[in-house]
Chain A
Amino acid sequence: DADVTQTPRNRITKTGKRIMLECSQTKGHDRMYWYRQDPGLGLRLIYYSFDVKDINKGEISDGYSVSRQAQAKFSLSLESAIPNQTALYFCATSPGATSGKYEQYFGPGTRLTVT
């Protein structure tokens, strides 16, 4: 069973619609992240959360919001989708910094197309 799951895996939506992408993890990690990947640009951080009450903006948070419903669940919302939000979206988790390891573990991704 996958440790980090994302739903949906693919989504096509229209400009102006609200959409939510969901992420769940069974790794028991405190930290969760949302990234987007665009061709030629690598992965860019949208939001991250160190626990249920700790939410932080990343490099490209405009147009997005998040909710950390529980330690294991972190959702990303596009309140009013626009075509330049068409991208691959990845959720990731990591253990706390006290572990001394900073690797992040990624879900399989959601391909979002905004028409």
Chain B
Amino acid sequence: DQQVKQNSPSLSVQEGRISILNCDYTNSMFDYFLWYKKYPAEGPTFLISISSIKDKNEDGRFTVFLNKSAKHLSLHIVPSQPGDSAVYFCAASARGSARQLTFGSGTQLTVLP
């Protein structure tokens, strides 16, 4: 039973437009959420995180939004660039779980020039 779900395996966006990647979770004990980006033949790279005490965190072109009541988080990339084309994983961590990360299955983002 997947506790972290990314229901869209792929997303295509035009360069310069906004990319919105979504993630849902079921475990109410999760209190810290992360997004990773992965290029082929490389390991995942940490992108941005958010604690459950916040509902938004911004870092340059990347913003993560957290809706605790809906158990939903999203990553917004504005403006999207061709170099953003990668697989994006969301991950979650719970207090008392030794801070293990539980990953979603990933969304392949393609930014079209």
Chain A residues within 8 Å of B, Cβ to Cβ = 4, 40-45, 48, 50, 56, 58, 90, 92, 94, 97, 101-109
Q: Do the beta carbons of B99 and A97 come within 8 Å of each other?
A: yes
Query: Interface residues of B toward A: which range?
Result: 20 to 34
Q: Do the beta carbons of B100 and A90 come within 8 Å of each other?
A: no
B59 interface residue, CB < 8 Å from A? no
B70 interface residue, CB < 8 Å from A? no
Q: Do the beta carbons of A108 and B41 come within 8 Å of each other?
A: yes
B65 interface residue, CB < 8 Å from A? no
Residue in A closest to B104 when the chains form the complex, CB atoms = A42
Chain B residues within 8 Å of A, Cβ to Cβ = 4, 6, 9, 32, 34, 36, 41-46, 49, 89, 93, 98-101, 103-106
> Which chain B residues border A104 with CB–CB below 8 Å?
46, 101
User: Known contacts A41-B105, A42-B103; can you find 17 more A-B pairs with CB under 8 A?
Assistant: A40-B9, A40-B105, A42-B89, A42-B104, A42-B105, A43-B44, A43-B101, A90-B44, A92-B43, A102-B49, A102-B99, A103-B49, A105-B46, A106-B36, A106-B44, A109-B41, A109-B43
A56 to B99, CA, bound (A): 13
A109 to B46, CA, bound (A): 15
Q: Do the beta carbons of A102 and B34 come within 8 Å of each other?
A: yes
12 A-B residue contacts at CB 8 Å?
A40-B105, A41-B105, A42-B106, A43-B44, A43-B89, A44-B103, A90-B43, A102-B49, A102-B99, A103-B49, A106-B43, A108-B42
Q: Do the beta carbons of B32 and A102 come within 8 Å of each other?
A: yes
Q: Do the beta carbons of A102 and B105 come within 8 Å of each other?
A: no
> Which chain A residues border B99 with CB–CB below 8 Å?
94, 97, 102
> Which chain A residues border B46 with CB–CB below 8 Å?
103-105
